[in-house]
């Protein structure tokens, strides 16, 4: 039979950043795998997304300059503040 070219697979990108994965999903990237890993009291995430148009680098730069990133940074800071306040007895 003929030598048909192998099907082209979309490049795969991985990130452990929940906010970046959400931003990618909101911008049309397909999430193909999501994992949560517990290490003691620490929870880590791993997301795999398809990047068929090879836009990942541009998306990462867009995210870094977006309101979404500033929102995520504020949420993280507030979570740390709550943990610190709880450890110090509510002060």
Domain residue ranges in the chain: 12-87
CA 64 to chain centre: 12
Whole-model pTM: value is 0.76
Sheet with 12-15, edge to edge strand ranges: 12-15, 42-50, 30-39
- pLDDT tens digits along 38-64: 999 899 999 999 999 999 999 999 999
Asked if residue 1 has pLDDT above 60, the reply is: no
Tell me how far apart the alpha carbons of residues 55 and 39 are, in angstroms, rounded to a whole number. Answer: 32
Which CATH architecture group holds 12-87?
Answer: 2-Layer Sandwich (3.30)
pLDDT (0 to 100) of residue 6: 53
Predicted confidence band at 7 (pLDDT cuts at 50, 70, 90)? Answer: low
């Amino acid at each position: 039979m003929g030598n048909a070219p192998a099907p082209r697979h979309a490049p795969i990108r991985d990130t452990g950043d929940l906010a970046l994965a959400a931003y990618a999903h909101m911008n049309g990237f397909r999430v193909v795998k999501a994992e949560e890993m517990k290490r003691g009291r620490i929870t880590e995430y791993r997301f795999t997304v398809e990047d068929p148009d090879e836009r990942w680098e541009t998306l990462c730069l867009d995210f870094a300059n977006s309101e979404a990133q500033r929102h995520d940074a504020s949420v993280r800071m507030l979570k740390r503040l709550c943990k610190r306040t709880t450890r110090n007895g509510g002060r």
